[in-house]
Amino acid sequence: MSGALGTIELKRVVITGLGIISPVGTGKDVFLQALLAGRSGVRRIARFDTTEFPVKIGAEVRDFDALAFIDKKWAKRMDRYAQYGVAAATMALEDSGYPIGEDPFAVGALIGSGVGGLDTFMEQTGILLEKGPTRVSPFFIPMMIPNMASACSSILLGLKGPVNATCTACAAGTMALGDAFSLIRRGDATAMFAGGAEAAVNQVGMSAFAALRAISFRNDEPERASRPFDADRDGFVMGEGAGVLVLEEAQHALDRGAHIYAEVCGYGLTGDASHLTEPDETGEPAGLAMSRAIRDAGIDPSEVDYVNAHGTSTPLGDIMETQAIKRALGAHAAQVMVSSNKSIFGHCLGAAGALEAAATVLFMEVGRVAPTINLENPDPACDLDYVPNVARDAQVDVAVSNSFGFGGHNAAIVLRRWHG
């Protein structure tokens, strides 16, 4: 899409690299295979003893070795969430082959996080309480703050362009992609390493979300616990990981012969202005975010083939999103495929939107859409086509990916198959 904003020529933006750390595997190929197979990444938590915890299940990253991506000295100075983010950015660079040295000031990083360095916060608070304030690490703050996945990626990859971070709860990954898209489109960068990173499956994260009654208590059936749009859903399953995508100005990508996965062509935002944690049940604000993204893309709602849903498996959230999709797409909503990847890899909080965007462009490439698993007893209030339980062969030309965060943060991006 091209146009004008004042005297600024709007540039087209494409995706040329993917980096994935997820509960169902590291790397785009393993990730895609698990999604299409509907293979759940939810298990009983192995990272710590859950005996006294009311929730004992989660979607942990199990195959990650930080030293495969990061020098030992640097790895020790990063929280686990930042390690995930840097590793995903490193994979995305390798996948893209982007020539950073050509102009380091033209390429930046925008990697969001919902909660940042929760491992570090828990560990260092324990040291403070047990040993006193003089024993707290001098790296406590730079390891904990939620901009460090972006900052460390910038430092280690040599990215000197715009470096920023979103911290908008579960919408952080999608907002990072949308903000990076905006930077490139108006010419403030040629490329951005954008996405989200999270590592909240620990004692603090699990106890806090359990106290909030936001997560599933289905401890006896981990793989069946995340069940978006199902009448028996009882909350989301905590996940973790990172997704980083290389967004690049289209002509630059064409000139260097890059592989183009898809085009980013629209971005929309709204706020609920209603509640700390619960969504606006009418779906009006979330639906407007979708509508704004569709309008920004210059397309008609009838052109949308697929919605990668936020689909958390919470009682209120799934009904709200169903209403939002109907508001944005009108009668066409009944014809559109909708699926929730969170049914498979849980809710990765600030990383979720980036992982789901990456999944969507991979679905476009292979002509198959992953299912919403565990959809066994459909909620009558959720009455769209959620691609239940089995992957579906389908050509997706236009997709919307949604993310909605605590505090009422609503974000949607439009992705389009690349046609040149």
Residue with tokens 């899409």: 1
How far is it, in rounded angstroms, from Cα 335 to Cα 162?
40
Helix (H, G, I), strand (E, B) or coil at 280: coil
Placement of tokens 């994979």 in the chain: 91
Residue 167 bears catalytic tag? no
Choosing from 347, 348, 382, 409, the catalytic residue is 347
Pairing mode of beta strands 306-308, 398-405: parallel
C-alpha span between 300 and 278 (Å, rounded): 30
Q: Is 332 marked active-site?
A: no
Residue 178: C-alpha distances to residues 36, 55, 173, 293 (Å): 26, 34, 9, 10
Query: Which of these is catalytic: 170, 265, 348, 382?
Result: 170
Tokens 């990508």 -> residue: 253
Number of Cβ within 10 Å of residue 213's Cβ equals 12
In the numeric block, which tokens belong to residue 179? 């903000």
Yes or no: say if 226 and 237 are a contact pair by the CB < 8 Å rule.
yes
**Given the structure tokens 């020790």, which residue do they identify?**
76
Task: Please name the residue ranges forming H helices in 263-399.
Answer: 284-296, 315-329, 342-345, 352-366
**For residues 226 and 374, is the Cβ–Cβ distance under 8 A?**
yes
Of the listed 152, 167, 310, 348, which one is catalytic? 310
CB 283 within 8 A of CB 324: yes
3-state secondary structure of 303: helix
170 catalytic per annotation: yes
Sign of CA dihedral 25, 30, 32, 33: negative
What residues are labeled active site? 170, 310, 347
